[in-house]
Structure 1
């Protein structure tokens, strides 16, 4: 029996979210994968969003091809526009569900996802599907976040409240916000042997303009994204809580430029 996604994407697709996603590149979000890519590879990028990473991958495989897959059609308009502006003719986008991929066994040299698995109901099942459509000897690559490892300075209490609320909303939506730490275990459950799994880690350290951009994103997301709607609708917090969090992100961005700000670990598998 085919399976469909049961979890809800906690961030949603408000402009404050997509603008952050559009700053992702293969260099800053898939560096661990790049040395393994060959020009003839066929690549599948799951949960591709606005397609910035996907487009970079396509540029690396001029003799191959890339498919970007996204559950929501509307966001793919931006992705297709980017591909067209860069003249990438080996790149296509389509809608689809990572739980039930519409591809045959062993079709791709690389199956990649960036911060997708934390948002799905059945992460092991998604990894199994990724493994199924990847060629024998190919690469399944997943980069995941671990929200509980995020740290920052200055440390206003509203940002601790933000972290608490995000954990609540993400889990209520069916996801696992600390997916990074679970990836090796999930990979083994999906059928890989321990020796077949390579684990690495990296961190995003935001200071200066980078800190301001991150904070400005969450200043808006705290009020307008699906995360904000989930806080209020599930009665985890109030609109006043969200307004305080939004203002705290704005204050933090200026403080971090003077004092130094740091935003936690992403784990790569």
Structure 2
């Protein structure tokens, strides 16, 4: 018999912001504490009964979440993956600087993870599926490499529709509109945070195995405003999101100038704040 052709993984959407220095600075602000707090209680309980716990962190970027998770597992280990070899090299350097040795880094595609079935006790991804054209397929692959009878899949994704900010500058409102339109035009999911349960159930997970919550990021201190304001202003000046928004007729050069100026005003305002909401899911296998 002729062998049947195997389904091919979908291609990855472009990561529109690109790895510009301010964008990477925001990635490196992220830790387990501010970006995976929903996972820590379950992780601590599981680690207490599984000393050699193995955790997979998918789409790790600069690896600051991965490294801080590894620091919570003194007798366990973390494998951190990304599709970018360059950002993995940066992640390895940061882990070494932090003195965290129970972590390794490997290039890998979330649609075709290079691991055997039931390899990991915990599989984690943060802000990855919102960029994907087929998040359900990604969930199936994450579940495949998770151990049964106690294994855990954890995922946190933004709901980009949910911005709350002050001062209410017109340029920030326009920035939000452009972000939503560009994300949708590029094949991403602006409402990812609200769709995690639906995606998991479509991947074959029973509702009784799912815990779901909402978390936040808030930028208000001088340091937070500087980091986030610089990141967002940089997106207005260069990068894939700007290029595509101009190409697709979503925004103009004048729009981007207004947005960059608004982020500078927001950053300088002592009473400014900016908050966002994220969906969080724990799937018990």
- 226, 241, 245: which one aligns with 1:231: 245
Using the size of structure 1 for normalisation, the TM-score is 0.95
Q: Is 1:244 aligned to residue 250 of structure 2?
A: no
1:80 paired residue number? 92
Q: How many residues align?
A: 267
Looking at structure 2, the residues matched to 71 and 177 of structure 1 have their Cα atoms a distance apart, in angstroms, of: 22
1:192 paired residue number? 205
Report SS of the residue matched to 2:133.
coil
Report SS of the residue matched to 2:125.
strand
Equivalent residues in 2 for 1:104-143, closer than 5 Å: 104-136=116-148, 137-143=150-156
1:5 paired residue number? 11
Looking at structure 1, the residues matched to 260 and 164 of structure 2 have their Cα atoms a distance apart, in angstroms, of: 17
2:166 paired residue number? 153
Q: Structure 1: where are the runs of 5+ without partners?
A: none
**Contact kept? 1:108, 1:134, Cα under 8 Å:** yes
Using the size of structure 2 for normalisation, the TM-score is 0.90
How much has 1:4 moved relative to structure 2? Answer: 4.1
* Alpha-carbon displacement from aligned partner over 1:133-183 (angstroms, at most 9, x marks no partner): 000121100011011011211111111111111112112221102200111
- 21, 25, 48: which one aligns with 1:19: 25
Task: After superposing the two structures, state which structure 1 stretch, 13-22 or 30-39, moved more.
Answer: 30-39
Q: Is 1:64 aligned to residue 76 of structure 2?
A: yes
Looking at structure 2, the residues matched to 222 and 66 of structure 1 have their Cα atoms a distance apart, in angstroms, of: 35
How much has 1:65 moved relative to structure 2? Answer: 1.4
Looking at structure 2, the residues matched to 59 and 152 of structure 1 have their Cα atoms a distance apart, in angstroms, of: 33
Q: Which runs of 4+ in 1 moved over 3 A?
A: none
RMSD after superposition: 1.4
Larger radius of gyration: 2
1:48 paired residue number? 60
